[in-house]
Structure 1
């Protein structure tokens, strides 16, 4: 899929897929929301607003109040590509989120996911 198509995906359509993924592995939506808020800086109400909106991923990340500086500590492979090697800043942010969701679904402790 071309980057432009990925950037145009609505966050509101992606979010339910994340919820299904983590819940199928016995994790909770609250844990998912905590991970997303940690990465982006959105508060609970602001995140709910983004979930209800038609904003695409580009807008979702562009309007993130405080992208976590510790996101650079996120390492690993998503879709066969090392997230730390992705050059396009927006694509890297998207893959950081994907990696955090994967870690949550795989049962990793929240403290480790949040790089605390």
Structure 2
């Protein structure tokens, strides 16, 4: 059976809180499955990937600390999305699983925390 897996991002659901482990399955009705029941998802194409973005952002920020402190302001010179992605693809490829928005947030935080004002 085909369907979609939806992760209700907690930051967008402030008034409708769900545990961070909640996934929603958007598919035709599944006979025999009741509310609160357990189902198992199998993706033979191995396309399902669960990412803990909070932990990954923290790991990237920690990784950047040493890079930025070693080069100070030159680290952020000529910083474009493409250059950032190219650099990450060799230095910390796992970070490319983050959205552009998340990468921007981490980069801004690193600039604020680790460079001289």
Coarse TM-score class (shorter-chain normalised): under 0.3
Q: Which has the higher contact order (CA 8 A, sep 6+)?
A: 1
Larger radius of gyration: 2
Taking structure 2 as the reference length, the TM-score comes to 0.25
Larger helix proportion, structure 1 or 2? 1
Taking structure 1 as the reference length, the TM-score comes to 0.25
